[in-house]
Amino acid sequence: MVNSVVTGSASGIGKAVCEQLEAQGDRVVGIDIRDAEINADLSTTEGRQKAIDETIELTGGAVDRLVLAAGLGGQVTDGPLLLSVNYFGTVDLLDGLCDAMKGRSGASAIVVSSNSSQFGSDADYDNPIVHALLDHDEAKARELIDPSDGGMGYMMSKHAIVRTIRRRATQWGSDGIRLNAIVPGMTDTPLFQGVLKNPEMAQLVDTLPSPLGRVATPEEIAKVIAFMLSDAASYIHGSVVWADGGMDAVIRPDKF
C-alpha cells in the first residue's frame, strides 16, 4: 500500500490531488484546518507538530508521497499569518516528515508554489523578509512584513519556498527522496475566487497575460502533480515545474 499525505486536502488543488491519488489506489491522509482526516492549524508551531505526529501515527511512520498544498491567498490581509501558513506550515511539515520517507522506494515530495513567486523576482532575491524565511526565523519574518500586506506575504512565502526545496535537493536526493516544486498559475479554486472578490486584486488579475485564454482547473494541476510523484518522473529532482498556461513565458520571455 502506498501512503500519500496531502496538506490543504479539503479544497482546491489539494482536494483534487487527494481524489487523483485515491483513484490510482493510494491510501491518502489529508491534512487541513477542518474537514480532513487530520485537522490542524498550520499557522502555529503546535498545529504543525500535531499534523506531523498524527501523520506518523496514521501511516505507521511510512510516507511514500507528500504533497504540500495548504496555503492562504494574497487577499487575506494579514501578512504575518500568510508567512506562517504558507512558508513555515510547509517547511516544518516537509522537514518533520522527511525521516518517514527515507528508505521508501520511489519516495517523492511536491511543494505547491505559485507563479506569483517571480512577479518581483529581481528584488525578491535580496528581500530581507525572504532572507528571514530562508533562515527559518519566523519571529523576524513576521516582524519585518507589513501586517496588512497579504499580497507581499503571498509572493514572499511562495518565492522562498521554491528556494528552500532547491537548497534541500542534495540532502534529500542522498536520502533517496525526490523533492520538487510545482508553480501553478491562475487556477479555479476557492483561493482564486477569493482573490477575484477583492477589487484591487481582481483588477491586477485582469492585467495578467493568459496565452491559453483561460484559468486552469484543479484537476489539471493535480494530474501534473501525480505525474511528478510517479516513477515516470524518476529523474526529476530539485526542479520547478511551471503549469501556468504560458503566463511566465510572456512576462519573462528571456528568464527561466
The residues assigned a catalytic role are: 154
DSSP element (H, E) containing 219: helix 218-229
Instruction: Report how far residue 16's alpha carbon sits from residue 155's, in angstroms, rounded to the nearest whole number.
Output: 23
Instruction: Report how far residue 75's alpha carbon sits from residue 91's, in angstroms, rounded to the nearest whole number.
Output: 22
DSSP string, 80-139: HHHIIIIIIHHHHHHHHTHHHHTT-TT-EEEEE--GGGGTTHHHHTT-HHHHHHHTT-HH
Cell output for 4: 500519500
Closest CA to 156 of 251, 93, 86, 91: 86
Residue 80 in contact with residue 39, Cβ under 8 Å? no
